Amino acid sequence: MKRVTALLLSLAGTLFFVSPACAEEVPAASWRTNYGEAYAAAKREGKMLLIYFYRDGEDAECRRFQKETLDAPLLQQKLQAYVCVKTPVEEEIVVEGRTMRRIDHSAFQEMLGRPGIAIVDLKSKDPQLFGKAVSTFPLTKKLWYTPEMLKVILDLPRGTLTQRTIIFAVRTHPDHALSTDGRADPFLLEEARHHSQYQAQIGLQGHHRWEARFPRIAARLRGEPPREVCAESWPGEHLVEAAVGCVYCWRFSSGHWGAVRAYHRRFGYDMKRGRNGIWYATGILGG
């Protein structure tokens, strides 16, 4: 499938759902201001840690995001399932004797040093997920997160940073694809991870070795014929931008979009970046 220019600039602001006309009033979510205390509380309570990185001072972008998105009534009940903390982009920490901004830590690399939302998983029992950043959504000129989009983020299934980001991109596409409405299957997530990594390793998008993988996956699905979709980003795109772009690539391919838009009982998505700066995405869908 050829790369196509993702319509990020024009389409990022058109998303995605209609807010309910009225909603039952719920108490506003509680936001902590001490990162260490919030992290400890989330670990103790077995919850996800939601971090809002903001700029200190009178920053119009952050004021708007706070007012329009974080304070939206639509989100308050969802936010109460998280330990929420606000921390300045400028806040510094000491790591191995070196002073650095917290947001510049490798865990938050895909925040791009910008304000936005990150989620650390302190709920999962999986050592590959526990204590890891599993969502990073920086505010950029191309991407803005409405209350409806943040609701999608708060409802993402358990998974790695890259898995959850591509699932977010599928769920927020304006054509309402249904392929992630089923269950995120650990086996299919792993298959998607492995094939995305292989594409990134060889620097070439494609359904490589599908004839060998198909019967193995079909057997695990008890005879249900799996479907696979693949896409690649433009070089140099950051994670969220690349994920959105890959889903738009699928939208412009009738065969791929037929799989992505359809409901599947089980699904797995992932994406990996190659040494060439290109992200390679895979979806494996069954049932």
- Predicted confidence at residue 9, as pLDDT, reads 32
Structural domain boundaries of the chain? 17-145, 183-286
CA distance 201 to 124: 29
Rounded mean pLDDT for each run of 10 residues along the chain, 287 residues in total: 39 41 71 97 98 91 95 96 97 92 96 97 94 97 94 98 98 96 96 98 96 92 90 97 97 95 96 97 93
Classify the C-alpha dihedral 194-197-199-205 as positive or negative.
positive
**In sequence order, which ranges of 95-225 are alpha helices (DSSP H)?**
147-154, 161-171, 186-202, 210-220
- Predicted confidence at residue 2, as pLDDT, reads 41
For the structural domain made of 183-286, what CATH number should be given?
3.40.33.10
- Predicted confidence at residue 27, as pLDDT, reads 87
CA distance 178 to 52: 29
| Domains 17-145 and 183-286 agree in fold | no
- Predicted confidence at residue 7, as pLDDT, reads 35
- Predicted confidence at residue 142, as pLDDT, reads 87
254 and 180 Cβ atoms separated by less than 8 Å = no
- Predicted confidence at residue 8, as pLDDT, reads 38
- Predicted confidence at residue 10, as pLDDT, reads 33
Reading the block at residue 236, the tokens are: 């140099």
251 and 6 Cβ atoms separated by less than 8 Å = no
Reading the block at residue 128, the tokens are: 């590959």
Identity at 155, one-letter amino acid code = D
- Predicted confidence at residue 24, as pLDDT, reads 57
CATH superfamily of the domain spanning 17-145: Glutaredoxin (3.40.30.10)
- Predicted confidence at residue 123, as pLDDT, reads 96
